[in-house]
Amino acid sequence: MLVVHTSLECYPVAKTGGLGDVVGSLPKFLNRKNVNAWVVIPKYDNDWANSRSYDVVHEGATYLGSQKFHYRMLREKVDELGFPLYMVDIPGRTDRPGIYVDPHSGYPYWDEFERYVSFQLAVLDWFKSFPQKPDVIHCHDHHTALIPFLINSCYIYSDLITVPTVLTIHNGEYHGSYDIGKAALLPKIKPEKFGFLEWNNRLNSLASGIRNCWKLTTVSTGYLRELQTDSSGLETLMQHEAPKSVGIINGIDDQVWDPATDPLIAHNFTAKTLEKGKKLNKEVLCKEFGLNPKLPVFSYIGRLAKEKGADLLPDLITAFLESGNEANFIVLGTGDPYLHHLFNHLKGRFVGYFNTSLQYNEKLAHQIYAGSDFLLMPSRVEPCGLNQMYALKYGTIPIVRRTGGLNDTVIDVGEPDGYGVCFNQFSLEDAWHAVSRAHSMFKIKDHMKIFRDRAVALDFSWDKSADKYIELYQSLNN
């Protein structure tokens, strides 16, 4: 069975968040289970992509509106990632360093729609050349969500009409919504199908994907339910498509995320050497950030975005430290410039208690998981969340708001077999209360040991979830 994943991100080639992790790991596990899973992404102008060798497997040309463009399909020569990786090279469109945002200006690329569409059109044009078509095309998020619509609706893709499509929503906040006039850039659409492109008088890529895909998945069951009641205008659509929808929780790549072998942490450890390993890694981390290793370390890793609740952190940290509590806080990530400013300010204000590294840094992230006591995830929305799983694997207790995948994966320490700290409302009070519970917990070493032992014993590997995807693919090919 050939399953082709189309995405804008794939770790380690191009990643801004969890989407990259999932597309960089699920196909590897599918291949281990004898599914021929490929990944196709744009050929970016970045260090990873520029330092590999490729075979040119196909060259073609197709139209964006009335403009003809040429593309090349490159295949990375050695299958270094554990699956065949293809990249679409469209000169003038894909060959840029950023995925969504121009790193020089900090703003999204001016032609984002044209860029995403060219990528999708090139992929479909390439599929047309296959003597045997893929068994499934698996699209991820709105950037590739036009594919199911294009196949169903454009005359030129009628050869592909029997190819099943799956759309996975990793982040339903972004719809890929544009002026409906942009439809002129697509190949000729069958008139009766035009309506499937439109949602509230706009061209809505995600909505079109939801309506046209054969199966719809979200990255947790909790998130699927949430989207059915709250998805910025797509609720009725999500309810209507419920029969073809399923939530499948993500797994983590335990080759990359294993404290026993992780080359990115200072001291490797196993379940047996957990306490010592945590202590040594905490010392390294505290030294790096100028913090006191005797105090609990609360960390935040990720995009500094509203969805993730990062805007709650400055007030939370200030309120907690100002009321006389002794604790360390670390923030690693980039995002909202205003939050950068606030965190830089806090850094000067709480020297020795708060420190931050306002960048994307994979290596440092691993060391923070290894050396922290708690990981803060006050997300407003969390479709799945991988960071809580990485944290647990490294014996770090997650403090999470009960939403989406966080609610599905973290059990509060107050419940039987619990191993995390959960809170309900997105509010300073609730988050403060959670941090304060964790802070008291930290003082009872035996309790911390019990929760850590439980955490590292959990299994969040891809094994079960990859099986669920395989079942889904098979159901489409019967």
**Given the rule CB under 6 A, which residues bind ligand GLC?**
17-19, 22, 170-171, 219, 250, 382-386, 405
- Please identify the residue of the shown chain whose CB is closest to the bound ligand GLC: 18
Specify the residue, 84 or 385, whose C-beta has the smaller distance to ligand GLC.
385
Minimum CB separation from ligand GLC for residue 189, in Å?
A: 30
Picking from 459, 279, 455, 439, the residue whose alpha carbon sits closest to that of residue 371 is 279
For residue 11, which amino acid is it?
Y
Minimum CB separation from ligand GLC for residue 246, in Å?
A: 14
What's the longest Cα–Cα distance across the chain?
Answer: 69
Q: Which pair of tokens denotes residue 369? A: 């998981």
Q: Which pair of tokens denotes residue 312? A: 């709650």
Specify the residue, 7 or 355, whose C-beta has the smaller distance to ligand GLC.
7
Specify the residue, 145 or 219, whose C-beta has the smaller distance to ligand GLC.
219
Minimum CB separation from ligand GLC for residue 140, in Å?
A: 8
Q: Give the CA distances from residue 24 to residues 40, 80, 162, 211, 408, in Å, rounded to whole numbers and listed in that order.
A: 11, 11, 27, 26, 23
Specify the residue, 62 or 250, whose C-beta has the smaller distance to ligand GLC.
250
Specify the residue, 148 or 383, whose C-beta has the smaller distance to ligand GLC.
383
Minimum CB separation from ligand GLC for residue 316, in Å?
A: 20
Minimum CB separation from ligand GLC for residue 152, in Å?
A: 25
Minimum CB separation from ligand GLC for residue 95, in Å?
A: 25
Minimum CB separation from ligand GLC for residue 300, in Å?
A: 15
Surface-to-core class of residue 476, CB atoms within 10 Å of its CB (0-12 exposed, 13-18 middle, 19+ buried)? middle
Picking from 391, 404, 429, 396, the residue whose alpha carbon sits closest to that of residue 312 is 429
Specify the residue, 286 or 384, whose C-beta has the smaller distance to ligand GLC.
384
CA–CA gap between residue 19 and residue 22 (Å, rounded): 5
Q: Are 141 and 5 in contact (CB under 8 A)?
A: no
Edge-to-edge strands, sheet with 202-204: 177-179, 202-204, 198-199
Specify the residue, 314 or 405, whose C-beta has the smaller distance to ligand GLC.
405
For residue 17, which amino acid is it?
G
